[in-house]
Structure 1
Amino acid sequence: MRKKRIILPTDFSENAWNAIAYALAIFKDVPCDFFILNAYQLGTSGLSTKMGMANDTRLFNLIKEESERELKKTLERIQGVSNAPDHTFKGLSIADNLVNAIGRTVYNQGVDYIIMGTKGASGLREVFIGSNAYKIIREIDFCPIIAVPDDYRSNGTIRTILLATGYEHLFESYELKPLLQIAQLFNAKIRIAHVADGEFAKEQEQSKKAIKKKLKSIQFDFVELEKDSTINQTIQKTIGADNSIDMVAMINHDRGFFERLTREPVIKKIAFNSQVPFLVIHLFE
């Protein structure tokens, strides 16, 4: 089996560390190459004088050194808690914005998942990992992303994954694969939740049949959810009522069915309100 390759972005906050700890817990028995990635940038001072350039260079070197130093500390901290023989760790300190740094690494390293926290450090060192988390979910549409709530602690198991869908298209095997791999790893059940909103169209019936075929090797069930005031609230309520749900997943389309239906930025809301980790899979063809 090819090793899983996973990017763990960090701004050296405890929230970023929490997402790293989550990744180590759920992939503890899986051979993995982890890339601990910190991106840093220098906002240009707009002084194109010689003195301004020299100051910029000096400041840039300070930021670069801090990034490398903190990465080294993070790698040492990981070695202190991880003893999985099949895990390797590589620190990447990249001078670029976070989205570009992650995007390039996904392409260059053939990455399977990005696992990150949804809130960041506060104060001067803040890299706005919160707004960055959403930027990454929105812009990196060629790699599955798991967003980990800041206070979520994993015991290393996943029992049920709630897949929220509008049955808006025929599911392809490649887009379900990141979800199926996690389900198989834990022998988890997939609960396919449709938020009822009016009549079921013929296309939706076909989509439901297609997903049934694709999941036959896995335990799954279908559930129709009565729509609360918003889809996000409906999903959160469902998670709150069933403590076996350890992950919520959505497959994001160019113009998500949910967004069209409700004018509600569902993905954004779930990313920031979910009590459990949120797996987003894009239609990356």
Structure 2
Amino acid sequence: MKKILIPIDFTLNSFQTIDYVLDLFKDEACDFYILNTYTYNTNSLDAIQMLQVDDDWFEQPKQQSIRQLGTLVERYTLNLKYVNHRFYAVSECLSLLDAIKKCINTLSIDLIILTSKKENNIGKKTKNIVDKIRSCPVLLVPPHASACKKNNLTIASDFKEKINPLEINKFLNILENTNLQITILVLGKQNTLSANASDNLETILKSMQPLLRGPIQLHYAGTFYKLKDYARAHLDGIMCIVDKKPDVFRKIGLFHSNIFSTLKQLRANTVLTIHQ
């Protein structure tokens, strides 16, 4: 069984994300873990007021989260769209990032699903998760996304650095029974690729081909700036971008990943982010 984690906030967008993911993985046996997190707002309470707070004050957010999750899981279970899908509720009194880390460790999660926003800017929580979760691929789903009968995954890179195929192959294994077309979009011109970039491209092609039913399509975008045009023309597919291994300045918080400037160009697309 593939284990997929879907954090939700009970908004319409998060429900649309669940429906999209179910259709995307319709041919796969999956356990879907629906995660909701809650915290206590203690900012307005002083020390004496905190001592006077009764148990009901602490229980209310917890019970509300559990109740809403229970209703949602029951609805998807009773109205089961695909018989190979199972649903579980996870309620945590943690920050979203810490709750996701806990689920990855305790449930052996294969893929994280996040609902992206309509706005140009990437949400702070989303940015934090993409930046800090490096042991599991993350799929960002925009509002109103819809799965096609023939799914396409486009891996976009300049291949100047070697791509670790582990997370890509992990995603391909989740879709092992799905008719998935793979496209490699090289952000450069074919006749100007360095020997190192050509070797890195060849390595990733050899790694993925045994996992696929059909051939891999290879396209050259010419420049990085053509990525946005390609993405706009392929809104029904999944774009895959690679987050480079963080250097010491990223680790201490002085800089953020360059992946976020790329994500802004792909905000209307479903995007798979993988990590070096």
TM-score by length of 1: 0.80
What secondary structure sits across from 2:17 in the alignment? helix
In structure 2, give the amino acid aligned to 1:224.
Y
Deviation at 1:213, TM superposition (A): 1.7
**Counterpart position of 1:152:** 145
Count how many residue pairs are aligned between Structure 1 and Structure 2: 262
Residue 38 of structure 1: SS of its match in structure 2? strand
Q: Deviations over 1:240-259 (max 9, x none)?
A: 2346x510012222149xxx
Cα distance change, pair 32–242 in 1 and its aligned pair in 2 (3 A): closer
The alpha carbon displacement at 1:269 in A equals 4.2
For the aligned residue pairs, the C-alpha RMSD in angstroms reads 2.9
Equivalence for 1:280: 273
Alignment of 1:104 onto 2:95: no
Counterpart of 1:109, as a letter, is L
Q: Is the 8 A contact 2:131 2:257 kept in 1?
A: no
> Are the aligned partners of 2:246 and 2:257 in contact in 1 as well (CA < 8 Å)?
no
Q: Distance between the aligned counterparts of 2:2 and 2:182, measured in 1?
A: 21
Deviation, structure 1 residue 134: 2.1
Of 159, 173, 182 in structure 2, the residue corresponding to residue 181 of structure 1 is 173
Does structure 1 residue 170 correspond to structure 2 residue 170? no
CA–CA distance in structure 1, aligned partners of residues 45 and 151 of structure 2: 56
Instruction: Name which of 10, 13, 16 aligns with 2:11.
Output: 13
Paired residue for 1:248, among 225, 239, 245?
239
- Of the candidates 198, 210, 223, which is equivalent to residue 219 of structure 2? 223
Q: Equivalent residues in 2 for 1:121-136 (5 A)?
A: 130-136=123-129
* 1:239 aligns to 2:231 (yes or no): yes
Q: CA–CA distance in 2 between the matches of 1:174 and 1:28?
A: 23
Q: How much has 1:58 moved relative to structure 2?
A: 4.2
Change (3 A) 1:150 1:28: same
Looking at structure 2, the residues matched to 272 and 67 of structure 1 have their Cα atoms a distance apart, in angstroms, of 34
* CA distance in structure 1 between the aligned counterparts of 2:75 and 2:164, rounded to whole angstroms: 40
Question: Any idea what SS the aligned residue of 2:177 has?
Answer: helix
Equivalent residue for 2:36? 38
Deviations 1:121-174 (A, max 9, x none): xxxxxxxx933222211111111111100121224x343211011213334442
Q: Secondary structure at the match of 2:123?
A: helix
Q: Distance in 2 between matches of 1:272 and 1:61?
A: 42
SS at match of 1:185: coil
Q: Which runs of 5+ in 1 are unaligned?
A: 121-128, 257-262
- Tell me the secondary structure at the aligned position of residue 64 of structure 1: helix
| Contact 1:236 1:274 (C-alpha < 8 Å) held by counterparts | no
- Whole-angstrom distance in 2 between the partners of 1:273 and 1:193: 14
Amino acid at match of 1:175: E
Q: How far apart in 2 are the matches of 1:142 and 1:177?
A: 13
Taking a change above 3 Å as real, the CA distance of residues 172 and 266 of structure 1, as seen in their structure-2 partners, is: closer
Relative to structure 1, is the Cα distance of residues 158 and 254 closer, same or farther in structure 2, using a 3 angstrom cutoff?
Answer: farther
CA distance in structure 1 between the partners assigned to 2:134 and 2:142 by the alignment = 20
How far apart, CA to CA, are the structure 1 residues paired with 2:124 and 2:72? Answer: 22
Deviations 1:26-63 (A, max 9, x none): 11221111110001112332644332333385433221
Name the TM-score, length of structure 2 as normaliser: 0.83
- Give 1:93's match in structure 2, choosing from 74, 88, 91: 91
Residue number in structure 2 paired with 1:28: 26
The CA distance in 1 between the partners of 2:138 and 2:233, in whole Å, is: 25
- Counterpart of 2:196 in structure 1 is 203
Paired letter, 2:50: G
Read off the aligned partner of 1:235 and give its amino acid letter.
Answer: L
Contact 2:25–2:175 (8 Å) recurs in 1: no
Paired with 1:58 and 1:272, the residues of 2 have a C-alpha distance of 46
Runs (5+) with no aligned partner, structure 2? 248-255
